[in-house]
Amino acid sequence: MLINCAAYQNGRKLADIERSQVHDYLARPDCFVWVALRDSDPGELAEMEREFDLHPLAVEDARNGHQRPKIEEYGDTLFVVLHTVELRGEGAGAELLVGEVDVFVGRNFVLSVRNRTERGFQDVRSRCEREPELLQHGSGYVLYALMDAVIDRYFPVLDALELQLEAIEERIFSGSTPRANIEALYGLKQKLVLLKHAVGPLLESAGKLHGGRVPQVCAGLQDYFRDVYDHVWRLNQTMDSLREMVTTAISVNLSMVTVQESETTKRLAAYAALVAVPTMIAGVYGMNFEHMPELKWAYGYPTAVGIMIAIDVYLFYRFRKARWL
């Protein structure tokens, strides 16, 4: 589906145009066309392929989707794949929705194709149109603005995952169910893996746009793409730290389970000792020997019971003092 199609010249918007007019504006000097598609069908991509002379391999990747984030050069055209990550819901039950944005960038055109993502890039288009002095750089600046927007949208998702981890850590020490904590931590770890798959490959790809030989469409914008690289690097560092914290939290949770089991074992051992002493004494006097002292003594029974109670009281005191009970 066509979302927008506009022509720009010398940093300013000329007009919203029809697809049939794209070819005419491509022929104008210092002019470029920005076409935005959403969930496009093969027919639309084939039309754009003919209009912008796109490489068939890049078009095939955009048509099939589910590509890893990357930046590839096909002659004078750049093909950029970005993953969008949106958080749906709140708390530990929130889900990550992963979409894809494929961007074709040439000297006089930008074609963006987004799939499986709800939030569009109208704010990016508005930002570019408010900055004509930067938009004069042409299609390369539009690529920067799109990449910057996608990457900036990762930060709120990462912040939400950090809050989830803090909430789980509080539950670990509040005595909640260990199984529920483990399930929540593994769910959080899976979300971090999804986010890592979206951000990780960009670290190498974004470096191609500001250092060494940069593509022609990005010439003059190295400082801006270096800023994108810095954001990606920061995201990766934060995610790595979060993953380590999740792993540590899982270990702590398992340690807490072990501590609880140890406490239970000590309590059972203490109660067993309290029962064992009277059992031992009663067992001695339950033997059927004929000649045993105190058997015919008038105070034998209360004395034996008193000894049992005295020993159990002493043991109970020692166990309580040792915090076994």
For 28-46, what is each residue's pLDDT tens digit? 888 999 999 998 888 889 9
Q: pTM for this one? A: 0.79
* Integer-rounded Cα radius of gyration of the chain: 35
Please measure the distance between the N-terminal and C-terminal CA atoms of the chain and give it in whole angstroms.
Answer: 70
Q: Worst-scoring range by mean pLDDT, 44-53, 133-142, 251-260?
A: 251-260
Q: Which long-range contacts (CB under 8 A, 24 or more apart) does 126-129 make?
A: 129/12, 129/13
As a whole number, the mean pLDDT across the chain is: 86
More confident residue, 230 or 284: 230
Q: For residue 18, is pLDDT > 70?
A: yes
Among 56-65, 177-186, 287-296, 304-313, name the most confident range. 56-65
Q: Which residues contact 266 (CB under 8 A, 6 or more apart)?
A: 324
State both tokens at 144: 């920067």
pLDDT for residue 291: 67
More confident residue, 98 or 301: 98
Mean pLDDT within 71-80: 90
pLDDT for residue 321: 80
Q: For residue 123, is pLDDT > 70?
A: yes
Neighbours of 136 (CB within 10 A): 15
Instruction: Please report the domains of the chain, with CATH numbers, ordered by start residue.
Output: 2-257 (3.30.460.20), 261-321 (1.20.58.340)
Q: What are residue 87's DSSP bridge partners?
A: 96
Q: For residue 257, is pLDDT > 80?
A: no
Return the percentage of the chain with pLDDT > 70, whole number: 96
Q: How far apart are CA 162 and CA 156, in angstroms?
A: 10
